Chain A
Amino acid sequence: MSVFYFVAFLSIFFALMTIFTKNPVHSVLYLVITFFTFTVHYILLNAQFLAVVNFIVYMGAIMVLFLFVLMLLNLNKDTEPLKSNLVKFMSVIAGMCLLVTLAGSFRVLESSEPIVLKNPDIGLVSNLGKVLFSDFLLPFEISSILLLTAMVGAVLLAKNDPKKI
């Protein structure tokens, strides 16, 4: 339990650091560490497969792409767009609204009894695969179609328009 609290503290700490650092590259690196703490959470939950996939996909692929784009843009203080006070004021109000909504929704929820899994090894690869391809086949396939759609869309956006050349 104490391990959980420590890792949870680290997650929140690095998530806050992601927001508060000025330098975008630092921000991305803190986000990478945040994702790493999520991986630790998954391991604590005995979900090894999810942990390692989170590690590969988020830390290994998505954040590398983030960093890649940031390096190409080479953001620094000179090119940073200055936001007007009006925009800042509005964003503060919007953020407060979100906070109130979240706080309200959490207050309504009653704290439930800790759930004890019937099968604690459900997160291991073979068990997870069996569940995904039997009980949750339809949602699984639908989400894969969603990913395929996104992929086709990305290719379409990146494709050169032959008329323009």
Chain B
Amino acid sequence: MELAFFIEKFLLVTIVFVISLVIAMYSTLAERKVAGFMQDRFGPDRAGPFGILQPLCDGGKFFFKEEIIPAGAHKSLFILGPTIAIITACIGSAVIPWGQELVIGERVIELQVADINVGVLYMFGVVALSVYGIMLGGWASNNKFSLMGAVRAASQSISYELALGLSLIALLMVTQSLSLKEIVVQQQGFVNWNIWVQPLGFLIFLVCAFAECNRVPFDLPECETELIGGYNVEYSSMKLGLYMFAEYIHMFVSSALMSALYFGGYNFPFMYDLGLSQNWITIIGVLAFFAKIFVFIFFFMWIRWTLPRFRYDQLMNLGWKMLIPLAIANIVLTGIITIIKDTFF
């Protein structure tokens, strides 16, 4: 029993890890394809049919490039920076429920690595930790532009974490649970999705997710028109690759989180009305979950090629003077509605 449990979790972790990496890899291709689509051109199409081998070529190139550690850089922290970035990006997916349980013979396999009862807060902690990778890398490079990028990343991340947390509080007031599994189970069907009760909270969460992933229009830490390349100016070869990978994995994990928190996770409409067996419901549920994730990833890219970058003071004003008051108003509103519901209905 104990060994089987261990093997089961180990397999699950490996699969989730591989899927995150593959999705991150193909996000790089998808990003350029989407850019091509938006700008009415082809995008990369030379390596393999439709350019599907492009990520492999890029990865291979990353590995074989010369690795440079600048003379003035702080060597150990310079290496630690991308390491932390990729680790914090990968551990976030541990609490996401990918599907219901699979029944194979006697065994019931939960498609979630860890169902801890503070799952939402765990995600929040991981997000909070991810800024260390950028900060340390930027500082250790011993380059003024990198430092600027690192400082921007830190202040942006702290500012938007507040609004992110406040928007989550309103959601938690509705769900009454911090466990991601329970939150997803509550959203069975289509009308129970949290987006219908928390539209404003979702909007704030979405904006903050963009900021936490350092995506356009909030990519100030790597704003190439002002900072050359931001915190990763001095990085070359696979270390730069890891930073980019970390960003795409963040995008994947936050898409998964948004679909799990607000869009019903693996739930799909009419899931119990079709007369399917449990295993089929689970498999279709996982596919539905990934479909939602891909829609969000496309949305991330869509925004990237649509909106220009914010100026720095605009970014701070948006965070502190717009999103935080809105999030607090959302909490108050949610509280009032909950009380009215409890007393009158």
Contacts and interface: CB of A to CB of B under 8 A. Distances in A.
Interface of A: 25, 29, 32, 48-49, 52-53, 55-56, 59-61, 64-65, 67-68, 71-72, 124-125
A56 B135 contact: no
A160 B118 CA distance: 40
A60 B154 contact: no
Given A59-B128, A67-B154, A71-B150, A48 B116 contact: yes
Contact of B158 (A53, A64, A71): A64
26 contacts: A25-B139, A29-B136, A32-B132, A48-B118, A49-B118, A52-B118, A55-B128, A55-B129, A56-B121, A56-B124, A59-B129, A60-B125, A60-B127, A60-B128, A61-B158, A64-B131, A64-B135, A67-B132, A68-B135, A68-B154, A68-B155, A68-B158, A71-B135, A71-B139, A71-B154, A72-B151
Nearest to A67: B135
Given A25-B77, A25-B139, A61-B128, A52 B122 contact: yes
Nearest to B76: A26
A16 B77 CA distance: 20
Contacts, number: 65
Contacts of B121: 49, 52-53, 56
Contacts of A72: 151
B157 interface: yes
Contact of B151 (A56, A59, A71): A71
B147 interface: yes
Contacts of B147: 71
B178 interface: yes
Contacts of B74: 25
Given A55-B125, A68-B151, A125 B178 contact: yes
A163 to B, nearest CB: 23
> Looking at B116, B121, B122, B151, which has the most chain A CB atoms within 10 Å of its CB?
B121
Contacts of A59: 125, 128-129
B161 interface: yes
A53 B158 CA distance: 15
B117 interface: yes
Nearest to B179: A125
A29 B81 CA distance: 12
A67 B118 CA distance: 27
Interface in B143-170: 147, 150-151, 154-155, 157-158, 161
B289 to A, nearest CB: 24
Contacts of A65: 154, 158
A71 B147 CA distance: 8
B125 A56 contact: yes
Nearest to B80: A29
A64 B154 contact: yes
Contacts of A56: 121, 124-125, 128
Closest 4 A/B residue pairs (Cβ): A60-B128, A52-B121, A55-B125, A68-B154
A124 B135 contact: no
Contacts of A67: 132, 135, 139, 154
Contacts of A49: 118, 121
Contacts of A71: 135, 139, 147, 150-151, 154
Nearest to A48: B118
> Looking at B124, B128, B151, B155, which has the most chain A CB atoms within 10 Å of its CB?
B128
Given A60-B129, A60-B131, A71-B147, 5 more contacts: A52-B121, A56-B128, A60-B161, A68-B155, A72-B151
A125 B158 contact: no
A55 B139 CA distance: 23
Interface in B103-135: 116-118, 121-122, 124-125, 127-129, 131-132, 135
> Looking at A55, A60, A124, which has the most chain B CB atoms within 10 Å of its CB?
A60
Interface in B163-197: 178
Interface string B283-315: 000000000000000000000000000000000
B281 to A, nearest CB: 29
> Looking at B129, B155, B158, which has the most chain A CB atoms within 10 Å of its CB?
B129
A5 B272 CA distance: 51
Contacts of B154: 64-65, 67-68, 71
Contacts of B157: 64
A165 B139 CA distance: 33
A69 to B, nearest CB: 10
B118 to A, nearest CB: 5
Contacts of A25: 74, 77, 139
A52 B125 contact: yes
A20 B142 CA distance: 24
